[in-house]
Structure 1
Amino acid sequence: MTSAPEISSNLSAFSLRVLQDAFGAASSALAHRMGMNATDALAIEYISLSPAPLTPGELGARLAITRSSTTEVVDRLVTAGHIQRVRDESDRRRFRLIPTDQAKDRVRSELGPLVAALNTATEGFSDAEQYVISTYLQRVVSAYQNFAVDSPTAVDAVNEQTEATPS
């Protein structure tokens, strides 16, 4: 019989660190399976799974890369036929990044087994336990989001310097 792990104030942080490592390994595996570099694979994942079309700026913020690097990623994905740039109907100066049906299908196909495994991870937990798990994960997400909002990134600093540099 296995015993429950010792509860300590560091258990949550340790478990989340292990989870972050697993995210990284899964992202690398997705990139390898799709024959892309890690940044392009993460970009196509964000674009394909986003509930609303992203702008290049939103994509760059999610990837934490500069505007010029975002342009390079978008150009590669367009050239490869994974996405299209479509003018935003409400602001014709902006573009939205739309995944091709083939790209969406490929990402969903590659991630399908992982999604299925994640969906079965809560089997055996009562509804009350699942609620506690969900509440905890929502708090974790909130903590990460607050950290990201409260901390200017190196990319923000580079973009601010680029904007301040006279052409």
Structure 2
Amino acid sequence: MPDEIESRERTRWAAAEPTWALWEVMRAATDAGHVLAQRLGLPYNDVRALSILAEATDPLGPVELGNRLGMRSASATELVDRLEGTGHIRRVRHPHDRRRVILEMTDTGWHAVMAQLGPLLARFDRVADGLDPEGSATVVGYLRAIAEEQRAYRSTP
């Protein structure tokens, strides 16, 4: 059932039904991120920073983290100081370039986030448990293809 935002947007542009549903999921994910931030007692950008650090394939320093968040260096340093002060992250020397400092999420930070996200992930699993194997394969294929399109969008001018 379309919500008010989707109903309004449906008058402005056409999209396939799965696209509308995915857009709703993306909006709900943003809302869940704000709830997670509130439950952790952190600003929303701090939770975004934790997510970026958890998902990074290469080590990130404060400047790289700030760039990904669209922040100036001084604001990124404040954010890192705040997250380090709460025990969610720590600064460590880069394993190959000892001159560089990188950031890593602490076990304490990971457990704090997962304590709040665990119930939501369990709800996702309950929904997935209601799918038959064919439906599950279809959903997984669709979502992985969408993730790949999002990655491609990132590298397209």
User: What TM-score results when the alignment is normalised by the length of structure 1?
Assistant: 0.74
Please, which of 28, 37, 40 is the counterpart of residue 34 of structure 1? 40
Number of the residue aligned with 1:129 = 135
State whether structure 2 residue 108 is matched by structure 1 residue 99.
Answer: no
Q: Say whether the 8 Å CA contact 2:59–2:94 is kept in structure 1.
A: no
RMSD between aligned alpha carbons? 2.3
Task: Deviation per CA, 1:73-102: give whole Å up to 9, x if none.
Answer: 212212332211101111123222122222
State whether structure 2 residue 115 is matched by structure 1 residue 109.
Answer: yes
Please, which of 43, 51, 55 is the counterpart of residue 50 of structure 1? 55
Q: Secondary structure at the match of 1:150?
A: coil
Task: Deviation per CA, 1:78-128: give whole Å up to 9, x if none.
Answer: 233221110111112322212222211111101000111112221232222
Task: Deviation per CA, 1:139-164: give whole Å up to 9, x if none.
Answer: 1001111111214xxxxxxxxxxxxx
Number of the residue aligned with 1:138 = 144
State the alpha-carbon separation in 2 of the partners of residues 43 and 13 from structure 1.
Answer: 27
Cα gap change, 1:44/1:9 in structure 2, threshold over 3 Å: closer, same or farther?
closer
State the alpha-carbon separation in 2 of the partners of residues 116 and 68 from structure 1.
Answer: 38
What 5-or-longer segments of structure 2 have no aligned partner?
Answer: 1-13
Q: Say whether the 8 Å CA contact 2:66–2:76 is kept in structure 1.
A: yes
Task: Choose 90-99 or 128-137, whichever is displaced more.
Answer: 90-99
1:14 is displaced (CA, Å) by 1.1
Q: Say whether the 8 Å CA contact 1:77–1:83 is kept in structure 2.
A: yes
Task: Choose 62-71 or 103-112, whichever is displaced more.
Answer: 62-71
State the structure with bigger RCO (CA 8 A, min sep 6), 1 or 2: 1
Alignment of 1:60-99 (within 5 A): 60-99=66-105
Identity of matched residues, %: 30
Number of the residue aligned with 1:3 = none
Aligned residues: 143
Q: Secondary structure at the match of 2:128?
A: coil
1:53 is displaced (CA, Å) by 6.9
What amino acid does structure 2 have at the position aligned with 1:45?
S
